[in-house]
Amino acid sequence: MREEYIAFHRKDGRGVCISEWEPHLEFFTGPFENWLSGQPIKVFLERPNWVVALRLPPTIGTSGISPDRSAGYPVVLKRFGWRSPLHRIARHLTGSKAVRSFRIAMTLRNAGVATPRPLIAWERSGLDSANQGYYITDEIPEAVTLRQWLKSSKVPEPEITALSMELARLVRGMHDAGVLHRDLTIGNFLVAPKPFEGNRIFLIDLSRAIHLGYVPLPLRLMDLARMKLFNLWPAFFESYCVGHPDWMDWQPALNFLIQVRRWKMDRWKKIKG
């Protein structure tokens, strides 16, 4: 079933949310920040964007989650920060990263691509808030990043192979939906210990993604080249090319892009010292 959302504009902020959360907009655009400061949280990332897991008040939730909400509704919050004064100025030209993330997530989910369900995204307005952006999604229980999962010594080889094929189908689905991620690292996938909404792997960090409508093969390869899959590349790329065997002929071009990417990263590390 296609998921729908609404746009809203309030005195203290504007954004988008699922229709079920419309009655709670005054809470998010109003006292949310003060309420948040007194809540227990689990911090995943502090800078430049603050990413935490927390539980919202039990009165806030959706029909698509476990009915036991006595401890609150489990979500992940991303609060967008500023890398530099230039980024702060550019924000007015590039638009809200929070709202963009929400809309891209909706596009992907409506195309059957696994990404955490977006719930609300908004930007606070006013001089005291500096147009701060917020994005909230469902939490994927006990999930870790793909990078963390691949480093685990406890993962059997058959499970790694099976997950690489699911990963290939996910990325292929994203590109077929007309979305270019532009930051497709293995740190931007979550792996769940057991299926959640029928999936074990989920795409995250959509703030740089763009919806082109159609993603040509050269751009697909540039997206793929960011992924450090090492010995998983053959199985992954073969699964990605299902239905388009002619794409396999582009393997040398992908290998070249991967090498260029690694060279650039090595150079950047040397420059940073």
Which element (helix H / strand E) includes 78? strand 73-80
Cα 88 versus chain centre, distance: 22
CA distance 115 to 258: 25
CA distance 202 to 192: 8
Any idea how long the chain is? 273
| pLDDT at residue 67 greater than cutoff 70 | no
Identify the architecture of domain 144-265 in CATH.
Answer: Orthogonal Bundle (1.10)
Q: What percent of the chain has pLDDT over 90?
A: 65
**pLDDT tens-place string over residues 111-159:** 999 999 999 999 987 645 555 799 999 999 999 999 999 888 678 888 8
pLDDT at 189: 98
Structural domain boundaries in the chain:
5-138, 144-265
Least confident range of 25-29, 103-107, 117-121: 25-29
Nearest to 131 by CA among 178, 179, 93: 93
pTM above 0.75, yes or no: yes
**pLDDT tens-place string over residues 32-53:** 989 999 999 999 998 889 999 9
**pLDDT band of 25, cuts 50, 70, 90:** very high
The DSSP result for 214-257, as a single string, is S--HHHHHHHHTT---GGGHHHHHHHHTTT-GGGGGGHHHHHHH
Helix 233-240 vs helix 157-176: crossing angle, to nearest 10: 40
CA distance 78 to 205: 9
| pLDDT at residue 217 greater than cutoff 80 | yes
